[in-house]
């Protein structure tokens, strides 16, 4: 057995630069975006930074905003819209320039990498100013395709917000607001400082005044108006107390609109700067209001995982709810079956997503189940099975109208779930740390019944089932030693342990493929060719929490929390090789099917694919290494919108992106003609398939 170490620095290097291999991870599509951090309104659209990029909402019907466009990138934080471009910051990447001339099809045109955590952005002329920890960074955007860093300006303390009026930028920080002269953008200079004595959370500058909200989790919050007629000598004009935990401010006309993280919205009359007064509030008990924008007497509040709230403030003394784009419910697990993804959303329930068009997956049905059924999911044969403190059976034969058909109480919280045939296998732990593997017969979905159980002695974690064996990970919790158990389940009423591997550490998830079981902590690979004698083949440490593992072919797909997804070549379990990786904010679970990688990353369902390993066989539209009738069916389903997109795509000169293997007649287009061409060849009535010559 060999122990290899993947230190954090090496993993981050891989995330940043990929690998030397030919294969690479490519973004295909996504849905169920959540966690709105900020937004800016322009015309009939709200441009919102989500955890996974820039999302564009059509707000022409403000009571029912609709997500119509997405630009995927890592950890978006703030956005500023000017003309046909959105300038969006990323904590980790820097400044993205997104072309939004068609809001339904935004695309990246430029990126200026800054190497830190860009938190906010303001644009003036040919320059974007972003705040990044102790820096204000000036980026020249005169050529949107080639933004570049023009200057680094140190501010007195950690900064998170920036606003501009005239030739001055105002940078909010823990002890006040730095005033920076940007009349020469590539050579900014200190112009003054507003000492707020406590944290300056955000500011809005207009004319000769700055409107400030301040306070932290320990100090009371307040609103202040400061005169900046002489920026070198700012003067406090007035100050009033606010609800605690303020988060953002915007000024429109004679009113300031202030959000509070967990309380809501406060409206202040600033018509008399010497005597501002709170005139209206709109409060709620659930949410995390982070950012506010106002257009035409309507407030748009970026409310974290609760989405975008729309509030009518036409009467400031009586703000009223108009509508929302609701994103509540972080993703905790997923399952794939027959062209649909079954996604569990925390504190909500089941969401069914049509993934037959991988470029544009769409939610089709919801089943609200509440907290009791919001952890694990498996799906098959027209049913979805969800487990937390109970097993819930949902009929999904009509994906648009899922219906609960049965349930079975568990004695404690489920820790793992697996489906095989007529049985659901659930690991769970009872009081005192003792664990069980329970086997529930679901042949009658309206009446799931206990078929048997096995006492794992110590706390049970993950479970995987192959044939007549269940593979269970366990850890020491007032019980036996941590390790890995193999249980004979041929007779569920009389299950028994056939093999055990003791480990010196806790392992959680397990996936079995061929003669190997893959366990998560780091990645432990166990030879299970002889179930009675499991042997640890290799241990690969990662220094990041590995949440799940899925093995397909020679590759292991590994989602890491707070890091992303990595693909490793595990052909030789001892000497694994890095293939590629992609950063996400919080990767949790992964499934690979038909060449596509389905990744649940807390804030979205993402679809990726590994490109570069195409067969290069003309007509092999499903890229399985053969050209036959299965490819014809695959192509027909895709062209009818009933199946996934072909896995292999190439940018062919003068033709653009082309599904080059599916283009059976080699005319550099993929359509129904290729289906007829393939059928004729396979019947012996036509010429062999050929690849577009410009794609070779």
- SS3 of 584-598: CCCCCEEEEECCEEE
Whole-model pTM?
A: 0.85
Residues 109, 122 contacting (CB under 8 angstroms): no
Residues 295, 41 contacting (CB under 8 angstroms): yes
Which residue has better confidence, 136 or 374? 136
623 falls in which pLDDT band (50, 70, 90)? confident
Given the candidates 3.90.1640.10, 3.40.50.620, 3.30.450.20, 2.130.10.10, the CATH classification of the domain at 35-245 is 2.130.10.10
Share of the chain above pLDDT 70, in %: 94
- DSSP-derived secondary structure for 109-125: EEEEE-SSBEEEEEEET
* C-alpha–C-alpha distance, residues 547 and 461, integer Å: 12
478 falls in which pLDDT band (50, 70, 90)? low
Average pLDDT of every residue of the chain: 90
SS3 696: coil
Quick one: pLDDT at residue 10? Answer: 41
Quick one: pLDDT at residue 507? Answer: 87
Average pLDDT over residues 651-674: 83
Quick one: pLDDT at residue 612? Answer: 67
Strands (DSSP E) found in 570-670: 577-583, 589-593, 596-600, 605-611, 650-652, 656-658
Residues 174, 199 contacting (CB under 8 angstroms): yes
Residues 94, 113 contacting (CB under 8 angstroms): yes
Residues of the chain with CATH 2.130.10.10: 35-245
User: Which distant-in-sequence residues (6+ apart) come within 8 Å of 271 by Cβ?
Assistant: 254
Nearest to 109 by CA among 67, 54, 146: 146
pLDDT digits (tens, 9 = 90+) for 483-509: 899 999 999 999 999 999 998 888 899
Strands (DSSP E) found in 403-534: 403-409, 414-420, 423-429, 435-441, 449-455, 459-466, 469-475, 483-488, 496-502, 510-513, 516-520, 523-527
Quick one: pLDDT at residue 643? Answer: 74
CATH of domain 629-695: 1.10.1330
Residues of the chain with CATH 1.10.1330: 629-695
Quick one: pLDDT at residue 613? Answer: 62
> How does 383-394 read in b/e, with b if 16+ C-beta sit within 10 Å?
bbbbbbbebbbb
Which residue has better confidence, 133 or 373? 133
pLDDT digits (tens, 9 = 90+) for 205-231: 999 999 999 997 777 899 999 999 999
Which residue has better confidence, 662 or 328? 662
Strand order in the sheet with 148-159: 118-124, 127-140, 148-159
* C-alpha–C-alpha distance, residues 341 and 631, integer Å: 23
User: Which distant-in-sequence residues (6+ apart) come within 8 Å of 378 by Cβ?
Assistant: 335, 384, 385, 417, 418, 419, 424
How does DSSP classify residue 575?
S
First to last CA, the chain: 43
């Amino acid at each position: 057995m060999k122990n290899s170490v993947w230190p954090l620095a090496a993993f981050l290097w891989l995330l940043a630069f990929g690998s030397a291999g030919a294969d690479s991870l490519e973004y295909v599509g996504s849905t169920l975006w959540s966690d709105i951090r900020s937004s800016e309104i322009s015309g009939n659209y709200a441009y919102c930074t989500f955890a996974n990029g820039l999302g564009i909402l059509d707000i022409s019907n403000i009571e029912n905003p609709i997500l119509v466009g997405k630009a995927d990138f890592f950890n978006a934080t703030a956005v500023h819209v000017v003309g046909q471009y959105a300038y969006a910051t990323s904590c980790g990447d820097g400044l993205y320039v997104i072309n939004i001339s068609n809001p339904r099809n935004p695309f990246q045109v430029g990126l200026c990498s800054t190497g830190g955590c860009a938190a906010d952005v303001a644009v003036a002329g040919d320059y974007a100013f972003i705040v990044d920890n102790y820096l204000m960074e000036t980026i020249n955007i005169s050529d949107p395709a080639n933004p570049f860093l023009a200057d680094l300006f140190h501010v007195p303390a950690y900064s998170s917000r920036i606003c501009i009026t005239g030739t001055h930028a105002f940078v909010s920080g823990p002890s006040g607001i730095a005033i920076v002269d940007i009349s020469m953008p590539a050579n900014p200079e200190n112009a003054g400082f507003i000492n707020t004595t406590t944290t300056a959370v955000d500011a809005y500058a207009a004319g000769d005044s700055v409107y400030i909200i301040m306070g932290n989790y320990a100090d009371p919050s307040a609103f202040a108006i400061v005169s900046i007629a002489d920026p070198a000598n700012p003067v406090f004009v007035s100050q009033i107390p606010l609800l605690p935990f303020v988060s953002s401010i915007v000024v429109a006309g004679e009113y300031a609109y202030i959000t509070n993280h967990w309380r809501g919205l406060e409206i202040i009359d600033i018509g008399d700067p010497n005597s501002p007064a709170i005139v209206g509030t709109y409060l709620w008990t659930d949410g995390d209001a982070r950012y506010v924008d106002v257009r035409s007497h309507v407030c748009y509040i970026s409310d974290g995982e609760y989405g975008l709230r729309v509030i009518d403030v036409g009467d400031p003394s009586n703000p009223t709810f108009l509508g929302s784009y609701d994103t509540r419910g972080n993703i905790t697990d997923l399952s794939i079956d027959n062209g649909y993804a079954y996604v569990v959303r925390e504190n909500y329930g089941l969401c069914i997503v049509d993934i037959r068009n991988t470029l544009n997956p769409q939610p089709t049905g919801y089943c609200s189940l509440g907290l009791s059924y919001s952890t694990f999911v498996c799906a098959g044969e027209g049913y979805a099975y969800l487990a937390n403190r109970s097993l819930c059976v949902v009929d999904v034969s009509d994906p648009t109208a899922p219906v609960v058909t049965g349930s079975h109480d568990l004695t404690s919280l489920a820790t793992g779930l697996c489906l095989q045939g007529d049985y659901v296998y659930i690991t769970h732990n009872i009081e005192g740390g003792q664990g069980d593997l329970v086997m529930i017969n679901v042949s009658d979905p309206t009446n799931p019944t206990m078929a048997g159980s096995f006492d794992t002695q110590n706390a049970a974690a993950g479970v995987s089932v192959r044939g007549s064996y269940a593979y269970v990970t366990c850890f020491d919790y007032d019980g036996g030693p941590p390790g890995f158990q193999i249980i004979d389940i041929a007779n569920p009423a009389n299950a028994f342990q056939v093999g055990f591997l003791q480990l010196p550490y806790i392992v959680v998830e397990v996936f079995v493929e061929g003669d190997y079981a893959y366990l998560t902590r780091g990645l432990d690979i166990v030879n299970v060719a002889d179930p009675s004698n499991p042997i640890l083949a290799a241990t690969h440490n990662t220094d990041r929490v590995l949440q799940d593992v899925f093995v397909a072919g020679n590759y292991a797909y590994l989602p890491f929390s707070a890091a992303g997804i990595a693909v490793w070549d595990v052909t030789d379990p001892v000497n694994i090789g890095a293939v590629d990786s992609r950063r996400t904010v919080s990767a949790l679970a992964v499934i690979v099917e038909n060449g596509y990688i389905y990744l649940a990353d807390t804030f979205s369902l993402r679809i990726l694919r590994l490109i570069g390993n195409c067969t290069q066989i003309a007509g092999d539209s499903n890229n399985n290494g053969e050209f036959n009738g299965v490819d014809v069916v695959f192509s027909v389903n895709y062209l009818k919108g009933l199946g996934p997109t072909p896995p292999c795509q190439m940018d062919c000169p003068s033709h653009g992106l082309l599904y080059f293997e599916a283009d059976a007649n080699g005319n550099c287009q993929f359509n129904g003609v290729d289906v007829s061409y393939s059928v004729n060849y396979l019947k012996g009535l036509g010429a062999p398939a050929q690849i577009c010559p410009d794609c070779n």
